[in-house]
Amino acid sequence: MKPWMRKFVGVVGATAAAATIPVVVAPSAYADSAYRCNYPEVCFYTDPNVQSAIVARFQVVTSSWQYLQYPNTGYAVVNTRNDDVAYVLQSDGKVLCVKPNGSFGSGERVVAVRIDSRSSC
């Protein structure tokens, strides 16, 4: 086989091999954000209004409490996670559960959060 023919066959072979490699496209991530809280965060706001300033952001699933550095009296919480609940510990000892993609506001003082991989409260 002539040298130019080897190059031609090599190029054609490489092109054919590349054409048979399946192209895998990753599915787009289902990412939400709400009230300036980005996926996959659980955010706390300065008062029961989600239009107020964000004072804390958490995103790690843990088996223990993650304490807020500056606990507020009166807060809102937004959970942008799609499959995980967030437990909120208030200063009165009450534990509330925020569903995936859920939110609420309270007049109580919030102390800590625990993100759990459960999908429901």
How many CA atoms does the CB half-sphere of 79 hold within 13 Å?
Answer: 28
Number of structural domains found in the chain: 1
Asked if the structure places residue 1 within a domain, the reply is: no
Domain that residue 111 falls in: 33-116
**How many whole angstroms separate alpha carbon 48 and alpha carbon 84?**
22
Helix H or strand E segment including 5:
helix 3-20
Which segment of 27-31, 38-42, 59-63 scores lowest on mean pLDDT?
Answer: 27-31
Residue 93 belongs to a domain with what CATH number? Answer: 2.60.20.10
Average of pLDDT values for 34-38? 92
Which segment of 5-9, 22-26, 107-111 scores lowest on mean pLDDT?
Answer: 22-26
Extract the tokens encoding 23: 């192209």
Higher confidence at residue 76 or residue 30? 76
At 73, is the pLDDT very low, low, confident or very high (cuts 50, 70, 90)? confident
The neighbouring-strand residues paired with 57 are 43
